Amino acid sequence: MRPLIAGNWKMNGVVASLAQVSTVASRIADEAPPADVLICPPFTLLANAVATSAGRIAIGGQDCHALPSGAFTGDISAEMLADAGASAVIVGHSERRQQHGESDAMVAAKVRAAWRAELLPILCVGETEVEHDGGYAADVVTAQLDGSLPTGASALTIVVAYEPIWAIGSGRTPTADQIARMHALIRAWLETALGREGSDVRVLYGGSVRPANARAILALPNVNGVLVGGASLVAQDFLEIARSVPSGR
């Protein structure tokens, strides 16, 4: 299974930031790490990022609407992302779930929208700090998978990202054991839901991934890549994370 190193720029980046895309794309083309590399810039930079990367890395969106078009001021459809040259889209990020009130059902509809537009959806799940401290993390993540991953997924058509909300942007990461246990739980869920295909779905870890901890996280069982926020804004840091993929995975 080829790991995926994905960068989520969130609401950061202006035209000048395309230099970061250019640096990452050319280094990745030269170094050819054993991983797929994806950058998800804000919508305003998407088409330019696609042109700048020239196919050397993948470019994705950070969200999409469930419908292909219509009277939805400010929204962007999966078809529009594909039209701009995106090949993937993040759906169900905790910042969307929390700040935009996205339910599991809405996230499931966005996964289906991504499929309709032939984009690879990266479905985010993860518990809050209160849920974590209360010992409910497994229940929360299982419920999110039940509610937001529609039937019909295969190893090539879904990526799951486990992002404990308390680890996002906080500089705190779960212990190696906590990450491994949650990824094993997600793997077991996927194998129950998808059968053999579930063994080959990539499950990413996200939340305060940095060059200093990427190698250890990427070496854990059932961790098939990372979803990187803050550290993806600095080309050298993001490249260092891409270089942390163990060879032969």
Nearer to ligand PGA, 13 or 230 (CB): 230
Tokens representing 177 are 């054991």
Using CB under 6 A as the binding rule, the residues of this chain from 141 to 180 that contact ligand PGA are 163, 168-169
Tell me which of 8, 20, 224, 244 binds ligand PGA, using CB under 6 A: 8
CA gap 45, 53 in Å, rounded? 12
Smallest distance, Å, CB 99 to ligand PGA?
12
What size, in residues, is the chain? 249
For the chain, the C-alpha Rg in angstroms (whole number) is 17
Residue linked to tokens 């809405």:
106
Query: Would you count residue 229 as binding ligand PGA (CB under 6 A)?
Result: yes
**CA distances to 9, 40, 58, 231, 235 from 119, in Å:** 18, 13, 11, 24, 25
Query: Would you count residue 3 as binding ligand PGA (CB under 6 A)?
Result: no
Q: Which stretch binds ligand PGA (CB under 6 A): 42-50, 70-78, 175-183, 229-237?
A: 229-237
* E-only strand ranges, 83-163: 88-91, 120-125, 159-162
Supply φ then ψ for residue 122, to 5 degrees. Answer: -105, 105
CA gap 10, 100 in Å, rounded? 14
Tell me which of 207, 223, 224, 244 binds ligand PGA, using CB under 6 A: 207
Nearer to ligand PGA, 49 or 228 (CB): 228
Query: Would you count residue 209 as binding ligand PGA (CB under 6 A)?
Result: yes
Q: Which amino acid is at 248?
A: G
Q: Which amino acid is at 142?
A: T
Smallest distance, Å, CB 90 to ligand PGA?
8
Tell me which of 59, 203, 228, 241 binds ligand PGA, using CB under 6 A: 228
Smallest distance, Å, CB 170 to ligand PGA?
7
Nearer to ligand PGA, 27 or 93 (CB): 93
Tell me which of 62, 144, 148, 208 binds ligand PGA, using CB under 6 A: 208
Cβ contacts of 55 within 8 Å, gap of 6 or more: none
Residues that bind ligand PGA (CB under 6 A): 8, 163, 168-169, 206-209, 227-231
